[in-house]
Chains A and B, each alone.
Chain A
Amino acid sequence: MKLGIQPRLLLMTTLVLGSCLSLAGWVLERSFTASVYAGAEEQLRLVIYALMGVAEEEGRSLKFPDTLPEPRLSQPESGLYARVVDASGQVIWRSPSLAYSEKTELEGAAAQPPQATGLFTFDWHDGHFYLSYGVIWEAAQDARFVFQVIADEAPFRAEIRAFRRNLTLGLGGVTLLFLLAQFLAVSWGLRPLRTMTQQVRELEAGDRERLDDGFPPELEGLAQSLDDYIEHEASTRERYRKAMEDLAHSLKTPLAVLRNHFSRHPGEDVELVEDQLDRMETAITYQLSRAKVAGTIRPPRPIDVVPLIRRLVEAMSKAYYDKRVQVEMDLPAQVKLRGDEGDMMELLGNLIENAFKYCRSRVNLSIIPGQWVVIQIADDGAGVSPEYRQEVLARGARADTAQSGQGIGLAVVVDLVSAYGGRLEIGESSLGGALMTLELPAT
């Protein structure tokens, strides 16, 4: 599942929060409603007691005074009504509020004969509360009566509605606050992860050597492992490189000694010996150069190649002083490439040296910056034959078929260029000699 950690956390907590608060709200409303109804019943009960208090026996019936303890019973449309029913279901008294209101819908309920006595029966329907109480009136010769009080539900309903509205607003507000707080908490909690992601990206890009310290304990282990891994990888490859270099170095000196010896004491196999010595030297030089490609060890950083080129040209001009090479350079102020400085020096050094070596007297250098940096080196020498061009570019000239000198240099260049994902083209320059066009990615 591609859902991020932050959305996961937020979704989960929102759901939980939402459900809990909804549940709480429902429970609260239920309780409130119940208490409202209980209150209503209590009120009505009091009315019944009051009525019972003012009732007077008249033979086997009851009579009630005009002034009632509860004023609302005397007001029409007051919302509070009362009546008393005898054992046969006859209504023996109605409160004035009931008598003078047109509440025909209430009449039906009156036909209920008394059931149990001494028991309050509370009910609600048709928008009214009904409280009934059956009694045996001792003083009226044990006649049975049912006192009934009826109240309009409307005001109670309104109260419940108001509560519900406030509850919703309140809980809703709390929910929003909670959600906000939780969002902030999750963001803050996940910040180290974002920081780490950013740093790893920088690592890959070569803008950073290792991760910072200071990650929280949960991530520390990971950061440490990453750093260790990078370090280990780099040092392993570095060791390999050094081993190759040392090997080549230790082979070169005996070869140099052999070579000099044979040139001083040429025997009958001098050609064979020199040939084999050449091959050995070429192989060593070539493999050594390949092993040196440092760009694979660490992610390369951006470097400016313009000063590199200037230094190389100056060095070459010094070494080829006698040749009095005229160098024309068309270089921008700064050209950044992603690469190891050593590798770039090897690449450009070989190309520039070739230009100086094989030119007659002129070398031109130019760079065209862009997504792909194009470096062109032209000389006015003899050029490179088409067959040889093919050979060099085909694979980078296998070491044992390469001619030493121009071959080695170019073979190394081709290797480096392909390691960096670039291109090398060998063509003819307008000066008459070779034109090397090098394309390297800028990022």
Chain B
Amino acid sequence: MRILAVEDEVTLLNQLERALRDEGYVVDGAGDGQEGLYYGQEYDYDAAIIDLGLPVLDGIELIRKLRQADRAFPILILTAREHWQDKVAGLEAGADDYLTKPFHMQELLARLNALIRRAGGYATPVLEQGDLVLDTAKKEVRVDSHPVELTAYEYKVLEYLMLNPSRVVSKSELTDHLYEQDYDRDSNVIEVFVGRLRKKLDPDGSRSPIRTIRGQGYRFGMESQA
């Protein structure tokens, strides 16, 4: 999952980036509204964390502009000035949730998680497709109630595909969303992960959780056992 963090307090931004990366997210950090807008328009994100009190371009304006540019990813507002007017204005401009500073990082991560899976169409932290269950909170996967061991990246690929169901996800999209920009990426790596995932999730080949669409990418869709 790729996150855009826009926060003008450098120390806080660094902490945010670190915490998000520890959680397995890919993060792009911006220090002002203009930069944030540029990133938001240039790249594809799964969610954004935006501080309201930004220089150059105000937080609420940034949200409005992003929505106008058809950027539909969920947005979590951070605000130190706790006027309800600001919170309501932010939500009305297009944000989806708010958090007041100072906050517990755990809470931020939990809310971010909730926003992302909400955007994927899931109402709870536990994603279910057929008899495949992925618990985003505990980061556990079960197939037919049996736990499945996945590596960090395998998990990330599966999670991303499950959160974008019934949609073709290209390899480059996967790379963009799952790897930091400076990582030496090779699309082959994705193929390897997908291959391994298939083996672990569907040992006897009856479920085909991940379909390959030739020339385009992958699509997640579980056929339940008859």
Known: A253-B9, A285-B82, A322-B118. A349 touches B88 (CB 8 A): yes
Chain B interface residues toward A at CB < 8 A:
9, 11-12, 15, 19, 53, 80-85, 87-88, 91-92, 96-98, 101-105, 114, 118, 123-124
Known: A253-B80, A321-B118. A311 touches B92 (CB 8 A): yes
Cβ–Cβ contact B102 & A256, under 8 A: yes
Chain A residues near B114 (CB-CB < 8 A): 322
Cβ–Cβ contact A257 & B98, under 8 A: no
Cβ–Cβ contact A319 & B91, under 8 A: yes
Consensus secondary structure, chain A interface: helix
Cβ–Cβ contact A253 & B96, under 8 A: no
Cβ–Cβ contact A318 & B96, under 8 A: yes
Chain A interface residues toward B at CB < 8 A:
245, 249, 252-253, 255-257, 259-261, 263, 281, 285, 288-289, 292, 311-312, 314-315, 318-319, 321-322, 324, 341-342, 345-346, 348-350
Chain A residues near B84 (CB-CB < 8 A): 312, 342, 345-346, 348-350
Cβ–Cβ contact A245 & B15, under 8 A: no
Chain A residues near B53 (CB-CB < 8 A): 249
Cβ–Cβ contact B118 & A252, under 8 A: no
Known: A256-B102, A345-B88. A292 touches B15 (CB 8 A): no
Chain A residues near B101 (CB-CB < 8 A): 252-253, 256
Chain A residues near B15 (CB-CB < 8 A): 256-257, 260-261
Chain B residues near A292 (CB-CB < 8 A): 83
Once the chains are docked, how many angstroms separate the CA of A321 from the CA of B114? 10
Query: Shortest 4 CB-CB distances between A and B: which pairs?
Result: A349-B84, A256-B102, A345-B84, A315-B91
Once the chains are docked, how many angstroms separate the CA of A285 from the CA of B103? 12
Q: Which residue of A lies closest to B88 (CB)?
A: A315
Chain B residues near A349 (CB-CB < 8 A): 84, 87-88
Known: A311-B92, A349-B87, A349-B88. A319 touches B81 (CB 8 A): no
Question: Which one, B83, B88, B92, B96, contacts A321 given CB within 8 A?
Answer: B96
Interface centre among A263, A289, A311, A315 (most CB of B within 10 A): A315
Interface centre among B82, B87, B104 (most CB of A within 10 A): B82
Once the chains are docked, how many angstroms separate the CA of A422 from the CA of B29? 46
Known: A312-B88, A315-B88. A249 touches B11 (CB 8 A): no
